[in-house]
Amino acid sequence: MMRITWATDQGSPARPNEDFVATALGAAVVLDGMSIDMSVETGCVHGRPWYVGQLATRLLAGLLDHRVSPATALAQAIAETADAHGGRCDLSHPWTPATTVVALRARDRAADYLVLSDSTLLLDRDGRVTALTADGSGFAAADPRVAERARVGSVPIAGLRRAALLTDGATRLVDQFGLTDWPQTLTTLAERGPAALIEQVREAERTDPDGRRWPRNKPHDDATVAFCEFATP
């Protein structure tokens, strides 16, 4: 059994949250929409939050069919989302909406994962924490073939204690600020929950509003965490 809790927070009130989390019994998906200036033309009349939500819900639905691999589910979701544009958008535009993807699915004896681009998946197997991410060259957009670039795999359910799916706005404490590590991140999630972890990120960001201590492209980024705990029924 996989118990999931999650939280998300937009980075700025001046722009919508382009992260999206979708969960169901035994599966979780977290997406981080590619951030560009709001004035930049994308060729899409719907907008980036619409795209990210459409892709996330379709991917989650695909993952619930255990006969379908995560990569195939992602490819199908991308194709279905492209169709959902209804021919009203230029999907060949260089700034067409795109997103990172991290997904986790629990089956009877194994947990399947998929990571595309720079979001992060943490896995705690018997106290040994592994962080999985992928390079930034393969954002999901309108081409289903990008699913071939995803980092995919499976781990036995036996011994899997906890997992976390995090966008890069939520991993800053570790990979940009160096204020903590991945095991402590999971401990914070277990003891205080996803919202508390995001607030720790915000507290650190507020101490360096101009990015002098920690240079970054945005003072605050959208931040999303889905935390999964495993227990034997």
Residue 136's pLDDT band (cuts 50, 70, 90): low
What is d(CA 93, CA 44) in angstroms, rounded to the nearest whole number? 9
pLDDT, tens digit (0-9, with 9 covering 90-100), for 160-212: 999 999 999 999 999 999 999 999 999 999 999 999 999 999 999 999 999 99
What is d(CA 165, CA 31) in angstroms, rounded to the nearest whole number? 9
Domain total in the chain? 1
Range of the domain at 137: 2-230
Q: How far is CA 158 from CA 4, 108, 154, 162, in A?
A: 18, 10, 12, 11
pLDDT, tens digit (0-9, with 9 covering 90-100), for 61-103: 999 999 999 999 999 999 999 999 999 898 888 888 999 999 9
- What pTM, to 2 d.p., does this model score? 0.95
What is d(CA 16, CA 8) in angstroms, rounded to the nearest whole number? 12
Largest CA distance in the chain: 50
CATH code: domain of residue 130: 3.60.40.10
User: For the CA atoms of 43, 45, 47, 48, what is the dihedral angle to 10 degrees?
Assistant: -40
What is d(CA 120, CA 33) in angstroms, rounded to the nearest whole number? 14
What's the mean pLDDT when you consider all of the chain? 94
